[in-house]
Amino acid sequence: MKKAAACLFVFILLAALGIGLTPQSASDLFQKALTKEKAEGNLEEAIALFQQVVDKGGDEALAAQAQLHIGICYEKLGLGKARESYQKVIDRYPRQAEAVRAARENLASLANAAPRIAGGIRDFTIRRVYDGTGPEWGNGLSSDGRYLAYTD
């Protein structure tokens, strides 16, 4: 009886340890990284998790999104590695149109901000005012970007 109880205990212990040792899927890691980035604000851990998703390969669309989010995290941290990360999206995942478009937009924003930072202007905000979609926006932005034309 004691031998059977000991065997059962060892089996349950190994099963419990085995649950924690099963590898996570790329999509699980991606969701965990998003939580770290957006909810917890822990960008360093989010970058590490997103990098694991990229390293796993498998799903190209998910890897492209993970690489894009690595760039976003680096940008939030104010590190120059953001450019590299965005460029990797463009170079490694050319078939992922949405991720490549977002990476190009972010690279353009960084390029526009670089002269201002180099010139000593450090108080600025980059924000999208208009994305060109939606019937409610009418004709769009003025050429200097100060006014938005719309119909009521």
Phi, psi (5° rounding) for residue 57?
75, -115
**60-77 and 26-34 are packed helices; what angle lies between their axes, rounded to 10 degrees?**
20
Res 21: pLDDT: 47
Res 100: pLDDT: 94
For 19-57, write each residue's pLDDT tens digit.
544 457 888 999 999 998 888 888 999 999 999 999 987
Is 8 a residue whose pLDDT tops 70?
A: no
Q: Which residues of 138-152 are buried (b: 16+ CB within 10 A; e: fewer)?
A: eeeeeeeeeeeeeee
- In this structure, is the dihedral angle defined by the CA atoms of residues 83, 85, 90 and 92, taken in order, positive or negative? positive
Helix (H, G, I), strand (E, B) or coil at 148: strand
Residue 83: which of 101, 66, 70 has the closest Cα? 70
Res 39: pLDDT: 86
140 Rama sector, left if φ>0, alpha if ψ -120 to 50, beta otherwise: left
Res 23: pLDDT: 56
Res 59: pLDDT: 87
Res 72: pLDDT: 92
For 89-129, write each residue's pLDDT tens digit.
999 999 999 999 999 999 988 888 766 555 555 555 666 66
Q: What is the pTM of this model?
A: 0.62
CA atoms within 13 A on the CB side of 117: 10
Res 76: pLDDT: 87
Bridge partners for 140 per DSSP: 149
Domains of the chain with bracketed CATH: 24-122 (1.25.40.10)
Residue 82: which of 92, 90, 91, 72 has the closest Cα? 72
Pair of tokens at residue 77: 């941290």
Residue 63: which of 105, 102, 96, 108 has the closest Cα? 96
Is 134 a residue whose pLDDT tops 60?
A: no
